[in-house]
């Protein structure tokens, strides 16, 4: 991760055009002394700030004037410096289609308004912990899966179905890797949240279900290798 840290303090960019909400988020995140918050009130300002000082994590409101959050997310993901920075969407939109669009563009998770500031802070810290763990370890990266339809080279970050390369978001890639590394074993949603998102069980989110659905949609003829076990979780089978 390309963020700037000083003395163990992580830099979080909060993009929110409502001053009261922005201030509330900033106060909550900075309360523990381990996070430094920079505020941006528009999409344009967010892109400028992220380019000048790459943050460790971004809280991004979707309902921004002129340049909305989805476009901001797309641009951030297209830049090398911010391509892997954790992005948590903050949205008042209730449509699951809107949330799926954000996750498909590359956001890591979403929080809907009205929201709990403490829960948002917990998600931000979990995203930061996950990012540090990814930076510090290359364990199990050199894994190649070669199935009847699906081929995944996790070292080369390349996935193909029936010989055709497919493009996955960072989180979809990590989810697939976790499922394959634990193939033929059932992984609960809580376990996937812990391993892929870095979340504790106290955090509730449908991000796992949404990402699995999107991943299946991209896997085509290999989609059936990800099984749903009602009430238990998911399993990747050979």
Reading phi first (left if > 0) and then psi (alpha if -120 to 50, else beta), residue 33 is in left
Q: Strand, coil or helix: what is 155?
A: coil
Start and end residues for every CATH 3.40.50.2300 domain found in the chain: 10-136
CATH node for 144-236: 1.10.10.10
pLDDT in tens, the chain (238 residues): 444 454 589 999 999 999 999 999 999 999 989 999 999 999 999 999 999 999 999 999 998 988 999 999 999 999 999 988 999 998 876 666 777 777 778 888 888 888 888 889 988 988 888 766 555 444 444 578 999 999 999 888 899 999 999 988 888 888 999 999 999 999 998 889 888 877 766 566 677 888 899 899 999 999 999 999 998 999 999 8
State how far the Cα of 134 lies from the Cα of 188, in Å rounded to an integer: 21
- Minimal CA–CA distance to 76: which of 95, 55, 97? 55
Cα(1)–Cα(131) distance, integer angstroms: 6
Contacts of residue 20, Cβ cutoff 8 Å, sequence gap at least 6: none
Stretch(es) of the chain classified as CATH 1.10.10.10: 144-236
Model confidence, pTM: 0.69
CATH number of this structure's domain 10-136, picked from the four choices 3.40.50.720, 3.40.50.300, 3.40.50.2300, 1.10.10.10:
3.40.50.2300
């Amino acid at each position: 991760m390309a963020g700037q840290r000083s003395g163990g303090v992580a830099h979080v960019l909060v993009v929110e055009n409502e001053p009261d909400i922005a201030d509330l988020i900033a106060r909550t995140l900075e309360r523990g002394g381990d996070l430094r918050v920079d505020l941006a009130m528009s999409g344009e300002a967010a892109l400028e700030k992220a380019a000048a000082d790459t943050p460790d994590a971004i809280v991004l409101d979707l309902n921004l004037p002129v340049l909305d959050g989805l476009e901001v997310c797309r641009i951030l993901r297209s830049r090398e410096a911010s391509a892997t920075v954790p992005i948590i969407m903050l949205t008042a939109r209730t449509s699951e289609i809107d949330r799926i669009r954000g996750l498909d563009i590359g956001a890591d998770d979403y929080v809907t308004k009205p929201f709990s500031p403490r829960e948002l802070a917990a998600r931000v810290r979990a995203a930061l912990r996950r990012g540090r763990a990814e930076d510090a370890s290359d364990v199990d990266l050199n894994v190649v899966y070669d199935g009847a339809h699906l081929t995944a080279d996790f070292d080369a970050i390349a996935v193909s179905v029936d010989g055709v390369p497919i493009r996955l978001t960072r989180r979809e890639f990590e989810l697939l890797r976790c499922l394959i590394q634990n193939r033929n074993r059932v992984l609960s949603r809580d376990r996937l949240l812990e391993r892929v998102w870095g979340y504790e069980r106290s955090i509730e989110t449908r991000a796992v279900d949404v990402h699995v659905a999107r991943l299946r949609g991209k896997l085509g003829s290999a989609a059936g290798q990800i099984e749903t076990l009602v009430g238990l979780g998911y399993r990747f089978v050979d």
